[in-house]
C-alpha cells in the first residue's frame, strides 16, 4: 500500500512507496479493463491497484467504486512481451497512441479524480504508457500558466510548427531537456488528429536526432492546457508532478534505528 504525505514546511508531497524494481508491465497485473485495436493486434488497459492506492475509483469493467483515498493509475500497454518497439513506429502509429491516451483521459474526466495528469512513456523500455491522475499537488492559477509562459520563451525556442512550439524552459524540471506545447490553448482530453499528427512527427524527429534514452511525459494541471516534457533517461510520472518517492516506511525505519541505538551492542 502506498501513501501520500505532505511536508507542512515546504508543502511538497512524498509518496511512501514499496514499489519493487523492474519493469512495471512485467510485474503481475490483473485482467485488462479495456482492449483497443492497434497495428492489427490489441493494446490493453490495466488499472494499477498497488501504487497510487487505494484508488478512489476502482475500475472493473464499467463499474467504478469509491474508497477513501485518492489517485488513479493505469498502464496502456501495446505489447505483452517485454520489448521496445516505439522507435519503429510510424507517425500514424504514434498519432493513434496519442489519441488513445487523450480518449482515455476524456473518459476518466467523468469521475472527477483530480486535475493533475501525468502520462509517461519511456521510449527505450517496455511498450506502455504509465498514466496517473492525482488531486495533488494543487495548482490553482488565475491565468493559464502554459499560455502565459509562451510569452516568455525568448531565445530558448528550439522548434516550431503551425500548431506546436518546443523550447528549453527558463527553469527546467529534473531531467527536462525540452518542453513542447500547443500554440493554441488545448486540453489533452481534446487533442485532435491534426495536432496529434504534428506532435507524432516531432516525437519521431526527437527520437531520430537524439540517440540518448528519453522519456516523453504528457503533463497537465489545473489550467487544462497540456505540455509534453522531453526528459533524459527513465522517468516516473509521479516524479514529474513534483512528488518525491520515498522507498521506505518512516515508522519502520524508526523502529530499526531506535533498536540499534538503544540496545547495548
Interface with Zn ion by CB under 5 A: which residues?
A: 23, 25-26, 82, 126, 144, 146-147, 185, 225
Q: How far is the CB of 221 from Zn ion (least distance, A)?
A: 11
Cβ closest to Zn ion, residue 70 vs residue 120:
120
Question: Which of residues 57 and 74 has its CB atom nearest to Zn ion in the complex?
Answer: 74
Nearer to Zn ion, 56 or 126 (CB): 126
The smaller minimum CB distance to Zn ion, of residues 57 and 102, is found at 102
Would you say 113 and 56 are in contact if contact means Cβ atoms under 8 Å apart? yes
**Smallest separation (angstroms) from Zn ion to the CB of 24:** 7
The cell 533517461 sits on which residue?
Answer: 233
Shortest Cβ 195–Zn ion spacing (Å): 13
Q: Say how far apart CA 201 and CA 2 lie, in whole Å.
A: 37
Q: Minimum Å distance from CB 186 to Zn ion?
A: 7
Residues listed for the chain? 265
Q: Cβ closer to Zn ion: 23 or 257?
A: 23
Q: Are strands 13-16 and 244-246 parallel, antiparallel or unpaired?
A: parallel
In the complex, what is the shortest distance from the CB of residue 202 to Zn ion, in angstroms, rounded to a whole number? 19
For Zn ion, the closer CB: 115 or 225: 225
Nearest approach, Cβ of residue 187 and Zn ion (Å): 9
Residue-by-residue DSSP string for the chain? --EEEE-TTT--EEEE--PPSS-TTTS-----SEEEEETTEEEEEEE--SSS-S-SEEEETTEEEE-SS--EEEEEES-SSS---GGG--HHHHHHHHHHHHHHHHHHHTT---SEEEEEEETTSSSEEEEEEES-S----SS-HHHHHHTT-GGGEEEE-SSEEEE--SSPPTTEEEEEEESS---GGG--HHHHHHHHHHHHHHHHH--S-EEEEEEE-TT---EEEEEES---TTGGGT-EEE-S-HHHHHHHHHHHHHS--
Nearest CB to Zn ion, comparing residues 70 and 163: 163
Taking the complex as a whole, how short is the minimal distance between the CB of residue 148 and Zn ion, in angstroms? 8
CA 189 to chain centre: 14
Amino acid at each position: 500500500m502506498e501513501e501520500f504525505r505532505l511536508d507542512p514546511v515546504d508543502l511538497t508531497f512524498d509518496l511512501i512507496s514499496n514499489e519493487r524494481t523492474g519493469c512495471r508491465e512485467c510485474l503481475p497485473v490483473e485482467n485488462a479493463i479495456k482492449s483497443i485495436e492497434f497495428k492489427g493486434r490489441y493494446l490493453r488497459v490495466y488499472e494499477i491497484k498497488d501504487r497510487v492506492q487505494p484508488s478512489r475509483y476502482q475500475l472493473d469493467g464499467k463499474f467504478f467504486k469509491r474508497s477513501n483515498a485518492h489517485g488513479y493509475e493505469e498502464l496502456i500497454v501495446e505489447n505483452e512481451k517485454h520489448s521496445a518497439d516505439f522507435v519503429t513506429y510510424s507517425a500514424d502509429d504514434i498519432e493513434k497512441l496519442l489519441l488513445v491516451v487523450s480518449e482515455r483521459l476524456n473518459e476518466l474526466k467523468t469521475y472527477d479524480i483530480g486535475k493533475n495528469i501525468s502520462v509517461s512513456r519511456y521510449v527505450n523500455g517496455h511498450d506502455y504508457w504509465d498514466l496517473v491522475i492525482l488531486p495533488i499537488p494543487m495548482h490553482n492559477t488565475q491565468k493559464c500558466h502554459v499560455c502565459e509562459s509562451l510569452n516568455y520563451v525568448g531565445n530558448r525556442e528550439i522548434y516550431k510548427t503551425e500548431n506546436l512550439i518546443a523550447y528549453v524552459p527558463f527553469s527546467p524540471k529534473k531531467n527536462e531537456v525540452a518542453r513542447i506545447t500547443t500554440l493554441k490553448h488545448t486540453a489533452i482530453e481534446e487533442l485532435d488528429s491534426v495536432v496529434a499528427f504534428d506532435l507524432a512527427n516531432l516525437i519521431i524527429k526527437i527520437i531520430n536526432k537524439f540517440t540518448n534514452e528519453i522519456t516523453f511525459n504528457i503533463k497537465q494541471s489545473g489550467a487544462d492546457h497540456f505540455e509534453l516534457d522531453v526528459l533524459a533517461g527513465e522517468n516516473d510520472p509521479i516524479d514529474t508532478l513534483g512528488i518525491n518517492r520515498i522507498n521506505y516506511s518512516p515508522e519502520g525505519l524508526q523502529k530499526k534505528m531506535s533498536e540499534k541505538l538503544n540496545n547495548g551492542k
